[in-house]
Structure 1
């Protein structure tokens, strides 16, 4: 045998077909090729192996001892190749697969439910894994490839990730409808001076952005309650404990008729929600399909307000 020779898949398919059918014409019909093509493939295989595989007669082809020994291995290789091809087709057709998304619990609560329902209904064979993590962890999950992608707002994305805006958003103040700030169409950062405010605890989530923006605006915020979850801030505000500061999309998603959401201006601060992927890594068909589903479900809220 030529040490540099490796049988091709086409040659192995021709060999198995001829072995089973004993005729070149019948093998050609099964493989949807010409009889001369099958004859050439068998000849190439015999030349490469430097051994005769079939004894030719006027009526049929008879496998040699070498062909009998080779048949089980050839059939096993073709089964594996067919299984691999089926697996790739199923992945491409979203008939199987796994998608892992890194996202904070607060954000997941209002951007994920409808997208998960739709995707799970359309692709029930694809497993969705939601990795809920702290705001300062989700980029690390993406870089460490523990998640296929992340959903959130990285404070310092860096050169190792790519981002795509999923939802346009900005910081806002949320107050009760009977609060003095509610009558304003927009609220300036300077208008927050002296107001007892509720927001997330120092160093967590949006708090660094809030503190830095207030500092640039020359405003000393009076934060009287610091929370870990924006949902806590919302019910505190609804209970009359004071206005809260948070991304407007989250506050609007709560759909509480007793609350008013006003954008903060001078300056207006963007807080866009993004899809975060590791640079140089493409998404699987299933992961990309879930991102597309997420975009569709958020489209009405994605327009700038």
Structure 2
């Protein structure tokens, strides 16, 4: 083993706090101890993790490459610790789930509450992360169930259920566009737009819709979370383009939604790890999630994909 967990933890804290002093304070150890562990790690690795400029530490390219994977490793350790704590506390088990933020903020609270009423002995660990991370967590068997919107490229996942929703425009109820039954890209040109970046599935879809309409897509505010988009709309920053799950989490009194034409489909998928038996708790939660989605007007159907 090149690095111990303790050395990785020291490395993580130095990266996060930008100094040996900050890392030592967070870890409740001395600065010399932090320096010594960093030196040991660099010796074992055969390359430098930081360039020292007086009291300033600058991460090397190698450190920048290691840091995201280090965070993922500690996230996995945290899941193990939570499960161990749950088992120690008398809980019969734990269900780990990963979903994108718009699903986490819309149907997930009701689904988890209902699930816990059915299986109160099972603890729930919820990760709200971007779609690629959801797929990776399911592929790595670090969660038992995932939910995303958009295509799924992972080969080590099973798509158990799918649903198709349509995109819409969220606006204040007194907005000039509120008198319309639907809106088109050309109708939105005068107004500041709030939407996801092109790196997210929804943002990529919007790029295509506006390009097909020969209308430039000019996003005034780029967001990653639908709840943030709702707050921006409420404050008058513009109108937001969201999928159905995003609308559920962002809509509130004083705001309304109008369909975006031409009709643009957005596909949500429930994911399970391939080659892993579906546990009773995962099967129960999947059913609960489908039921809660149906009550919110989102109909999942079982997928034939394996």
What TM bracket, shorter-length normalisation? Answer: 0.5 to 0.7
**How many residues are treated as equivalent by the alignment?**
209
Partners of 2:248 and 2:98 in 1: CA distance: 23
Partners of 1:217 and 1:277 in 2: CA distance: 37
Partners of 2:163 and 2:251 in 1: CA distance: 17
CA contact (8 A) 2:150 2:267 kept: no
1:151 maps onto 2:147 in alignment: yes
**Which residue does 1:284 correspond to in 2?**
279
Following superposition, the deviation at residue 253 of structure 1 comes to 4.2
TM-align CA RMSD: 2.2
- Report the TM-score when normalising by structure 2: 0.62
Residues 1-305 of structure 1 aligned to structure 2 (within 5 Å):
96-165=92-161, 167-266=163-262, 268-303=263-298
Q: Which digits, 9 at most, give the CA deviation of each residue in 1:244-290, with x for residues without a partner?
A: 11113321444412111111121x12223221123343311110001
- Report the TM-score when normalising by structure 1: 0.62
CA contact (8 A) 1:102 1:131 kept: yes
Following superposition, the deviation at residue 127 of structure 1 comes to 2.1
Q: Which digits, 9 at most, give the CA deviation of each residue in 1:171-195, with x for residues without a partner?
A: 1111111212211111123322343
Partners of 1:283 and 1:216 in 2: CA distance: 42
Task: Specify every segment of 5 or more residues in structure 2 that has no aligned partner in the other structure, as ranges.
Answer: 1-90, 300-306
Q: Which digits, 9 at most, give the CA deviation of each residue in 1:106-136, with x for residues without a partner?
A: 3201111111111112211112111222232
CA contact (8 A) 2:102 2:249 kept: no
CA contact (8 A) 1:166 1:302 kept: no
The 3 A distance-change label for structure 1 pair 294 and 109 is same
